Amino acid sequence: MNVQEALKRHFGHDTFRTGQENIIIDLIAGNDTIALLPTGGGKSLCYQLPAYILEGTVLIISPLLSLMEDQIQQIRMRGEKRVIGLNGALSYMERQKALLNLNQYKYIFASPEILQSEAVASALRNINLSLFVVDEAHCISQWGHDFRTDYSKLGELRGKLGQAPCIALTATATPEVLKDIESSLQMKNAKMHIQSVNRSNIAIMIEECHSLENKMKRVSELVKKLKGPGIIYCSSRKWTENLEQFLKMEGVHDTACYHAGMEQEQRTLIQQQFVYDQLEVVCCTNAFGMGVNKGNVRYVIHFHFPAQMESYVQEIGRAGRDGLPSVAISLIGSGDMEIPLALLESEFSTYEQLHQTLYLLSAGTEAEEAFERTGVNEFQGRFILHHLEKLSYPLPGNEQQSLNVIWGKIEDRRKFKKRKLNAVMKWLLSKECRRQGILKYFEEKNLQTQEICCDRCGLDLLQYEEREEKHTHLQLLEWKAELKAIFGQSE
């Protein structure tokens, strides 16, 4: 079966999207591959289709449960039942049963953390892996915009599992991060498929608001005027809740908030309601987005701006995945840059916390208890343990050397993230075209120009607005059609 036949038979498509076919051909030929495709560019097909041509099982490492479950659901809706997710959603007995029968599956999804389990790794060694897939591969880089320590161990794990051809997929990565991905995954002569991060159908606008009250009123105005559905990104869980309540008070009732502090069932419900157009707008943290397979998001509003350009590009990329005109609006206030700076600092343990943690660990205290006693959070703890494991000298007896090395890593990471934040601030204040600034950041050589672009190039929001009478008329048609369907009436 060739790739065109597989595309038609298993996915019902006649043609590939830009770049997909060449990526798939390289994988089938056994080549390690790095693919940077813009959000909505069809990354999942690049590993799902080869599964039907290659013998064996495809292992997909995915960073988020919601993203994993969305991909699994899509595969099952296509009629493919040989798919499973190794994650916290499985009970102990379900996981044990799955590990005993892994060779029955065509697709296995797993988080990087669960792959550190020897039981899981052992079960995977006993099956024939045809592909080793790393989704959201920017997470593998120590300089990537969502650093996950267990991602950096995947290269070693891949070697233990038989060195199957590897594909690393991402939507946002600088050349520096792409090199880090290739090295960390121990790729050999990787084939590079790098597309532009530009999403030409998404217009970009930055608006300055002189007060918090002004910013909240502007959010309400935009949500009421703009064609929906839409997503509003906030910097904290509390602000997602505040905005949800504010919009409901303003008469926008089809709205909900979403953040990582909510119960998983509630998050799943909100995500599904949004996907199936039962919600018009979601106020959320960056925990929302990956795994939301929704093509008709018409706008993304940043109530707070992210601390890195990579995050911004990925978040606005949730709009217009159907290719239709969409808009990304960021509302900037006078004190807004203090928020990402404070969040940045909170990512790292203090020198005193690190010193106390290493002392407790050297005394035999369990890591979880040591972190709780010193106030080190989960992310900070993973960072400490990650670099502690890489040291050639053990605790106890080398606390001071370990302290010096790990504190140096923390300082390097802090400086790097501050440079990222400064790049964002420079872009926000620049007078040049917003899109050109983004493309320069990602070091794209062929800078693109287009008619509908950004506020610097003269953007009119009217084309993204929806007249109230049109909206009302649409609702009228919808309920009449629904009544006819219920009672079996025809035109």
The torsion angles phi and psi of 264, rounded to 5 degrees, stand at -60, -40
Which pLDDT score, from 0 to 100, does residue 70 have? Answer: 83
Among 52-61, 134-143, 158-167, where is mean pLDDT lowest?
A: 134-143
Specify if 490 maps to a domain.
Answer: no
In terms of DSSP bridges, do strands 166-170 and 230-233 run parallel, antiparallel, or are they unpaired?
unpaired
> Does pLDDT of 449 surpass 70?
yes
Specify if 303 maps to a domain.
Answer: yes
Which pLDDT score, from 0 to 100, does residue 472 have? Answer: 40
Q: Which domain holds residue 209?
A: 202-340
The two three-digit tokens of residue 87, written as one number: 């994650």
> Does pLDDT of 99 surpass 90?
yes
Among 301-310, 451-460, 462-471, where is mean pLDDT lowest?
A: 462-471
The torsion angles phi and psi of 360, rounded to 5 degrees, stand at -65, -40
Task: For residue range 2-29, list pLDDT tens digits in order.
Answer: 899 999 999 999 999 999 999 999 999 9
Whether residues 185 and 233 fall in one domain: no
Number of compact structural domains in the chain: 3
Whether residues 158 and 221 fall in one domain: no
Task: For residue range 242-298, list pLDDT tens digits in order.
Answer: 999 999 999 999 999 999 899 988 988 998 899 999 999 999 998 887 767 799 999
> Does pLDDT of 473 surpass 50?
no
Let me know the angle formed at the C-alpha of 27 by 136 and 188, rounded to the nearest 5 degrees.
80
The two three-digit tokens of residue 24, written as one number: 């798939």
Distance (Å, rounded) from C-alpha 55 to C-alpha 36?
26
CA 142 to chain centre: 16
Whether residues 272 and 132 fall in one domain: no
Which pLDDT score, from 0 to 100, does residue 355 have? Answer: 96
Whether residues 336 and 374 fall in one domain: no
Specify if 35 maps to a domain.
Answer: yes
Residue finishing a domain among 300, 323, 340: 340
Specify if 481 maps to a domain.
Answer: no
Specify if 190 maps to a domain.
Answer: yes
SS (H, E, C) the chain: CCHHHHHHHHHCCCCCCCCHHHHHHHHHCCCCEEEECCCCCCCCHHHHCHHHCCCCEEEEECCCHHHHHHHHHHHHHCCCCCEEEECCCCCHHHHHHHHHCHHHCCEEEECCCHHHCHHHHHHHHCCCEEEEEECCHHHHCCCCCCCCHHHHHHHHHHHHCCCCCEEEEECCCCHHHHHHHHHHCCCCCCEEEECCCCCCCEEEEEEECCCHHHHHHHHHHHHHHECCCEEEECCCHHHHHHHHHHHHHCCCCCEEEECCCCCHHHHHHHHHHHHCCCCCEEEECCCCCCCCCCCCCCEEEECCCCCCHHHHHHHHCCCCCCCCCEEEEEEECCCCCHHHHHHHHHCCCCHHHHHHHHHHHHCCCCHHHHHHHHCCCHHHHHHHHHHHHHCCCCCCCCHHHHHHHHHHHHHHHHHHHHHHHHHHHHHHHCCCCHHHHHHHHCCCCCCCCCCCCEHHHCCCHHHHECCHHHHHHHHHHHHHHHHHHHCCCCC
% of residues, the chain, pLDDT over 90: 69
**Which whole number is the average pLDDT over 424-428?**
94
Q: What is the mean pLDDT of the chain?
A: 89
Which pLDDT score, from 0 to 100, does residue 113 have? Answer: 87
Whether residues 153 and 214 fall in one domain: no
Specify if 112 maps to a domain.
Answer: yes
Q: How many CB atoms lie within 10 A of CB 395?
A: 16
Specify if 467 maps to a domain.
Answer: no
Burial of 491 (0-12, 13-18, 19+ CB in 10 A): exposed
Which pLDDT score, from 0 to 100, does residue 346 have? Answer: 86
Which pLDDT score, from 0 to 100, does residue 484 have? Answer: 56
Whether residues 188 and 209 fall in one domain: no
Whether residues 84 and 185 fall in one domain: yes
In sequence order, the β-bridge partners of residue 134 are 61, 168
> Does pLDDT of 408 surpass 80?
yes
**Which whole number is the average pLDDT over 174-203?**
93
> Does pLDDT of 467 surpass 80?
no
Distance (Å, rounded) from C-alpha 258 to C-alpha 286?
9
Residue type, 60: I
> Does pLDDT of 412 surpass 80?
yes
Which pLDDT score, from 0 to 100, does residue 476 have? Answer: 45
Burial of 38 (0-12, 13-18, 19+ CB in 10 A): buried
Which pLDDT score, from 0 to 100, does residue 478 have? Answer: 53
pLDDT bin (cut points 50, 70, 90) of residue 69 is: confident
Task: For residue range 314-338, list pLDDT tens digits in order.
Answer: 999 999 999 999 999 999 987 777 8
**Which whole number is the average pLDDT over 157-173?**
93
Distance (Å, rounded) from C-alpha 151 to C-alpha 162?
18
Could you give the C-alpha distances from 182 to 57, 147, 190, 485, in angstroms and in order?
A: 22, 16, 7, 54
Whether residues 312 and 212 fall in one domain: yes
Torsion of CA 10, 13, 19, 23, to 10 degrees: 10
Which pLDDT score, from 0 to 100, does residue 150 have? Answer: 86
Whether residues 188 and 206 fall in one domain: no
Which pLDDT score, from 0 to 100, does residue 66 have? Answer: 76
Residue finishing a domain among 277, 311, 340: 340
Task: For residue range 474-486, list pLDDT tens digits in order.
Answer: 444 455 555 555 4
pLDDT bin (cut points 50, 70, 90) of residue 364 is: very high
Contact in structure between 226 and 252 (CB atoms under 8 Å): no
pLDDT bin (cut points 50, 70, 90) of residue 344 is: confident
Specify if 480 maps to a domain.
Answer: no
Whether residues 226 and 306 fall in one domain: yes
Whether residues 189 and 286 fall in one domain: no
Given its phi and psi angles, is residue 289 left (phi above 0), alpha (psi -120 to 50 degrees) or beta? left
Whether residues 22 and 149 fall in one domain: yes
pTM value? Answer: 0.86
Residue 326 is part of a domain; what is its CATH number?
Answer: 3.40.50.300
Among 34-48, 224-238, 442-456, where is mean pLDDT lowest?
A: 442-456
Which pLDDT score, from 0 to 100, does residue 15 have? Answer: 94
Which pLDDT score, from 0 to 100, does residue 481 have? Answer: 55
Residue finishing a domain among 340, 361, 387: 340
Compare 285 and 445 and report the one with higher pLDDT: 285
Render the burial of 51-61: b for 16+ CB within 10 Å, e for the rest.
bbbbeebbbbb
